[in-house]
Amino acid sequence: MTKTIPAYQRIKNAILDNIHSGKWQAGNSISTEMALAKEFGVSRMTVNRALKELSEERVLERRQGSGTFVAQQQFNHTFVEVRNIAQDLKSANRDYQAQVVSKRILTAAMLDDELRRKFDINKVAVSSNTNADTTVMDDSTGADSSSDVAVLYEVKIIHFADGQPIQFEERWVDAQKVPEFIEQDFSVVNTSDYLIAKSPLERGSYTIRALAAPDEIAALLQIAPQSPTLVLRRQTYSAGRVLTFVKMWHAGDRYQFSGEL
């Protein structure tokens, strides 16, 4: 038997759908409690629970006497600073360029164990509320498999400073939450900036490790195999789930991380 979704959760899902689709942008006011109660045929108490939970999850901001608004995300200053390498290099008066190595649409069956765990995705099943019209296209082959559902987008990008590769970015994004992500020209649009603008980010976690560069990474960064690299691995969350997971490889002798306490 199909489990009935509680009314407050249906309201939360509808609000999140409006935000993720771009109907309600950061800073926009949303429908009033009275309007939502009428739309969903529930009490204002039920609506209040949905709005309260979304406010606690930092998706909405409730202002006394003014209403409820899509939260202006303070992600850059609250949990972990999401650096925009393009802005960093330009502010240092260095010439910046980005080269897209590949873009792919991934189905559940194409994911390795790490990605399935990160995004909590089953290998065989995709929820029934997924858009059945989604067509899967692999840029590398041109193969079309409309019978499968896109669950993640994958992009790989080299970032250059003064013509020298300084960072290699491998990123995976929830295809259902940001359906137009894969259509962007990431030689022009910064991936982190695009995601922050399109989907509210609640929190994130990251690690930085020193690793010897595998042959493929070394070739992309134009360094010798097994040269030292700094690898930043970061995952960020929206609506309680991982929105994006990224690995950023940096040539060890060309990059450093710094900050202030």
pTM of the entire structure? 0.63
The burial class, CB within 10 Å (0-12 / 13-18 / 19+), for 179 is middle
Q: Which uninterrupted H or E stretch holds 186?
A: none
How many residues in total does the chain contain? 261
Q: Find, among 27, 176, 73, 192, the residue nearest to 184 by Cα.
A: 192
Q: Find, among 189, 203, 172, the residue nearest to 106 by Cα.
A: 172
pLDDT in tens, 49-94: 999 988 888 788 888 888 899 886 543 333 345 567 776 776 677 7
Specify the range with the lowest mean pLDDT, choosing from 66-75, 99-108, 207-216.
Answer: 66-75
Q: Which of 76-90, 131-145, 175-189, 196-210 has the highest mean pLDDT?
A: 175-189
